Structure 1
Amino acid sequence: MNIVFLVGGIEPGRNGVGDYTRELVAALEGFGHTASIIASHDPWVSHCRKERQKSGQHMIPVFRIPRNAGQRERLCLVKREIERLKPDWVSIQFVPYAFHQKGLPLFFLRRLTQVLQPYRIHLMFHECWIGITRNSPLQHLIVGAGQRQLVRYFVKSVSPAVINTSNELYQAVLSRAGIHGDLLPLFSNIPIAMGAPEKWDGAEGSALNIDKISFKRKYLAAGIFGTIYPQVDLVSAINELHERARGNNQELLIITFGRSSSDGEQRLADALVTANLPVRNIRLGELSAKRVSQVMQRLDVAISCTPRQHLGKSGVFAALRLHKVEVMATLNDSLPEYDHMIEPSINTLYNRPSERWSVEWVARRFLEPLTIIH
Structure 2
Amino acid sequence: MKILFICSSLEAGCDGVGDYTRRLSAELMRAGHEATIIALHDRHLLSDSEKRTQHDQGFGISVMRLSDRLSWRKKILAAAAYVHSAAPDWVSIQYVPYGFHRKGLPFGLGKSLKKIACGLPTHIMFHEIWVGITRMSPLAHKFYGFFQARIVRALISGLNPAIMTTSNRLYQLVLDTRHIQTDILPLFSNISLTAPDPAYEDLIYRTLGIDSYNRSHYTVIGLFGSLYPGCGLEQTIGKQYLISLAEGKKLAFIAFGRIGDLKEYERLKRHFAWQVTFANLGELPENEISTVMQMLDKAVSGTPVEHYGKSGVYAALKLHKLEVLDSVSNCIPEYESEIATYNHFLDKRDFQAWNADFVAHLFASLLHSKAPRA
Using the size of structure 2 for normalisation, the TM-score is 0.94
Q: What is the Cα deviation at residue 329 of structure 1?
A: 1.0
Indicate yes or no: 2:304 matched with 1:303.
no
Q: For the structure 1 residues 304 and 14, does the alpha-carbon distance in structure 2 shift closer, same or farther, using more than 3 Å as the test?
A: same
Q: What is the Cα deviation at residue 244 of structure 1?
A: 2.3
Runs of 4+ deviating beyond 6 Å: 200-204
In the alignment, is the contact (CA less than 8 A) between 1:205 and 1:282 conserved in 2? Answer: no
1:358 to 346, 355, 368: 355
Indicate yes or no: 2:319 matched with 1:322.
yes
Which amino acid is 1:373 matched to? Answer: K
Query: C-alpha separation between the residues in 2 aligned to 1:296 and 1:5?
Result: 31
Which amino acid is 1:88 matched to? Answer: D
In the alignment, is the contact (CA less than 8 A) between 1:204 and 1:282 conserved in 2? Answer: no
Q: What is residue 146 of structure 2 aligned with on the other side? A: 145
Secondary structure in 1 aligned to 2:295?
coil
Query: C-alpha separation between the residues in 2 aligned to 1:44 and 1:269?
Result: 31
In the alignment, is the contact (CA less than 8 A) between 1:235 and 1:272 conserved in 2? Answer: no
Q: What is the Cα deviation at residue 205 of structure 1?
A: 5.6
Query: C-alpha separation between the residues in 2 aligned to 1:320 and 1:208?
Result: 24
Q: What is the Cα deviation at residue 270 of structure 1?
A: 2.4
Secondary structure in 2 aligned to 1:106?
coil
Query: C-alpha separation between the residues in 2 aligned to 1:343 and 1:66?
Result: 41
Indicate yes or no: 2:37 matched with 1:37.
yes
Q: What is residue 177 of structure 1 aligned with on the other side? A: 178
Q: What is residue 14 of structure 1 aligned with on the other side? A: 14
Q: For the structure 1 residues 292 and 118, does the alpha-carbon distance in structure 2 shift closer, same or farther, using more than 3 Å as the test?
A: same
Output the aligned Cα RMSD.
1.9
Q: What is the Cα deviation at residue 48 of structure 1?
A: 0.5
Secondary structure in 1 aligned to 2:60?
strand
Q: Percent identity?
A: 38
In the alignment, is the contact (CA less than 8 A) between 1:192 and 1:293 conserved in 2? Answer: yes
Q: For the structure 1 residues 200 and 351, does the alpha-carbon distance in structure 2 shift closer, same or farther, using more than 3 Å as the test?
A: closer
Query: C-alpha separation between the residues in 1 aligned to 2:325 and 2:202?
Result: 29
Query: C-alpha separation between the residues in 2 aligned to 1:355 and 1:215?
Result: 31
Q: What is residue 341 of structure 2 aligned with on the other side? A: 344
CA deviations on 1:250-309 (whole Å, 9 max, x unpaired) are: 221100110123xx3332332344456421111100000100000000011111111111
Q: What is the Cα deviation at residue 216 of structure 1?
A: 4.4
In the alignment, is the contact (CA less than 8 A) between 1:234 and 1:268 conserved in 2? Answer: no
In the alignment, is the contact (CA less than 8 A) between 1:25 and 1:60 conserved in 2? Answer: yes
Q: What is residue 251 of structure 1 aligned with on the other side? A: 250
Query: C-alpha separation between the residues in 2 aligned to 1:257 and 1:94?
Result: 29
Query: C-alpha separation between the residues in 2 aligned to 1:255 and 1:63?
Result: 39
Which amino acid is 2:337 matched to? Answer: H
CA deviations on 1:83-118 (whole Å, 9 max, x unpaired) are: 000000000000111111222222332232233252
In the alignment, is the contact (CA less than 8 A) between 2:121 and 2:162 conserved in 1? Answer: yes
Q: For the structure 1 residues 343 and 74, does the alpha-carbon distance in structure 2 shift closer, same or farther, using more than 3 Å as the test?
A: same
Which amino acid is 2:277 matched to? Answer: R
CA deviations on 1:201-221 (whole Å, 9 max, x unpaired) are: 97886449955xx57413211
Between 364-373 and 166-175, the greater mean CA deviation after superposition:
364-373
Query: C-alpha separation between the residues in 2 aligned to 1:371 and 1:120?
Result: 11
Q: What is residue 219 of structure 1 aligned with on the other side? A: 218
CA deviations on 1:123-179 (whole Å, 9 max, x unpaired) are: 100001112122222222122111111211221231211111000000011100110
Q: What is the Cα deviation at residue 239 of structure 1?
A: 2.0
Query: C-alpha separation between the residues in 2 aligned to 1:87 and 1:228?
Result: 41
Query: C-alpha separation between the residues in 1 aligned to 2:210 and 2:278?
Result: 15
Query: C-alpha separation between the residues in 2 aligned to 1:32 and 1:26?
Result: 10
Which runs of 5 or more structure 1 residues have no equivalent in the other structure? Answer: none
Query: C-alpha separation between the residues in 2 aligned to 1:310 and 1:73?
Result: 36
